[in-house]
Amino acid sequence: MTKTVPAPAPFWIRCLTGFAALLAAAALTVPGSARAQDEPAASEDTFAEDEIVSAVAEFFGVTAEAAGEAVERIFADNGRPNGYIKGEEAAGAIGVGLRYGEGTLYMKSGATRQVFWQGPSIGWDFGGNAAKTFTLVYNLQRVDDIYQRFPGVEGSAYFIGGIGVNYQRANNITLAPMRAGVGFRLGANVGYLAYSRQRNWLPF
pLDDT in tens, 62-100: 999 999 999 999 999 999 999 999 999 887 655 567 788
**pTM for the model:** 0.75
Res 128 pLDDT > 50: yes
Read off the pLDDT of each residue in 7-34 and give the average, rounded to a whole number.
51
Q: For position 62, what pLDDT does the model report?
A: 92
User: Cβ neighbours of residue 150 under 8 Å, at least 6 residues apart?
Assistant: 168, 169, 170, 173, 175, 192, 193, 194, 195
Q: For position 145, what pLDDT does the model report?
A: 98
Q: For position 182, what pLDDT does the model report?
A: 55
Query: Which H or E element spans position 119?
Result: strand 112-121
Read off the pLDDT of each residue in 129-137 and give the average, rounded to a whole number.
89
Res 109 pLDDT > 70: yes
Burial 136-157 (b: 16+ CB within 10 A, else e): bbbbbeeeeebbeebebbeebb
> What does the alpha-carbon distance between residue 132 and residue 111 come to, in Å, rounded to a whole number?
22
User: pLDDT class for 164, splitting at 50, 70, 90?
Assistant: confident
Res 139 pLDDT > 90: yes
